[in-house]
Amino acid sequence: MSQDLLPPEASAPWIAEQRASLLAQRGHAWLLQGPSGLGQYALALELARAWLCEAPAEQGACGACPSCHAIAVRAHADLCVLMPELQMQELGWPLSEKAQAEIDDKKRKPSREIRVDAMRDAVEFCQRTSARGRGKVVLVYPAEQMNAITANALLKTLEEPPGDARFVLASEAAHQLLPTIRSRCLTHTMSWPTDQAAGQWLAGQQIEPGTAEAALRAAGGRPGDALALARSGAAQAWAQLPRALAKGDVAALAGHAPAGAVAALQKICHDLMALAAGAEPRFFTRADLPSRPLAMDGLQAWSRELVAAARTADHPFNTGLMMEALAARAKGVLLSGSSPRARR
């Protein structure tokens, strides 16, 4: 079967280790949690493949049986994938006929959250008999994209699981889940790869070492996010970002969507605060940042503004104006520690 249909993390050694350890445990409902970019979707899919595989090993699915093949081509009758429609499209999962028709007819846009309709289908799916006789699996990702109604519908099924259904919920913000959902699942916290393992994995994804290093730094060590940054081209310019902003270069933020721009500024702010407190920066090197430490109270004020900006960044009133304001504010902060001469 083609491995290309699996997410790139599926072959990563740290995912393989976690897969083996989870498969050795019992449990009909797992919650995989951790920040984004650690591979929870890949691990969730690996568990689903292994549970449904006709010749599973301790290490996971065989990759060759009809069940593994059916998952690879996104057409396994016993696997129900619950995702926001946008995410399903990105990851290559087919939508239900009804949903696809509504989107094709331009009646609505693909959803950003898990729809009640899809949850109803999933609950019904759980009641059906397994088609291939190896039980059924419901995969929910990102689980925090369930609203209160869909979460409650799932809760009912989690409380009284039909005999052969298993659940794997993958979340990048598990604190947003209903506590009742969390308490019905066995929780697994995603483990972090070492920088070396992540670097080797990125090399295997055809990312050259210099870019991989910058991307990992920019992503705070989270390999999935680092891969996305490297592929988008944003990693290459990352180290230059503080300097470009200090020069008043608004275009330095152009490679980012508004939410990404705010996140990038938050990382600069984080590192400036670390330096001000005498600690090491995390997302940039010391050489990328202003050499004089900045005043902590000014940085704290900026940090609060960025938190507020993050709330509106998904739906800005005017993207261009927002980016200009963000860049101007960043410039002011970055130059606040330099002499009046350099500030001009």
| Binding residues for Zn ion (CB under 5 A) | 53, 61-62, 65, 68
Backbone angles phi, psi at 237, to 5 degrees: -90, -5
Rounded to a whole number of angstroms, the minimum distance from the CB of residue 76 to Zn ion is 11
Cα–Cα–Cα angle for 156, 83, 38, rounded to 5 degrees: 105
200 C-beta neighbours (distance < 10 Å), count? 15
Tokens matching residue 205:
């994804």
d(C-alpha 264, C-alpha 284), whole Å:
11
CB of 175 to Zn ion, least distance (A): 35
What are the angstrom distances between the C-alpha of 269 and each of 145, 242, 331?
28, 10, 12
Beta carbon of residue 191, minimum distance to Zn ion (angstroms, whole number):
25
Q: How far is the CB of 196 from Zn ion (least distance, A)?
A: 31
Identity of the residue, 76 or 188, whose beta carbon is nearer to Zn ion in the bound complex? 76
User: Do residues 59 and 16 lie in contact, with contact meaning Cβ atoms separated by under 8 Å?
Assistant: yes
Span between the terminal Cα atoms of the chain, in Å: 61
CB of 55 to Zn ion, least distance (A): 5
Closer to Zn ion by Cβ: residue 62 or 197:
62
Q: Which residue's CB is nearer to Zn ion, number 50 or number 202?
A: 50
- Closest by alpha carbon to 264, among 215, 337, 208, 205? 215
Q: How many residues does the chain have?
A: 344
Nearer to Zn ion, 47 or 229 (CB): 47
Nearer to Zn ion, 62 or 259 (CB): 62
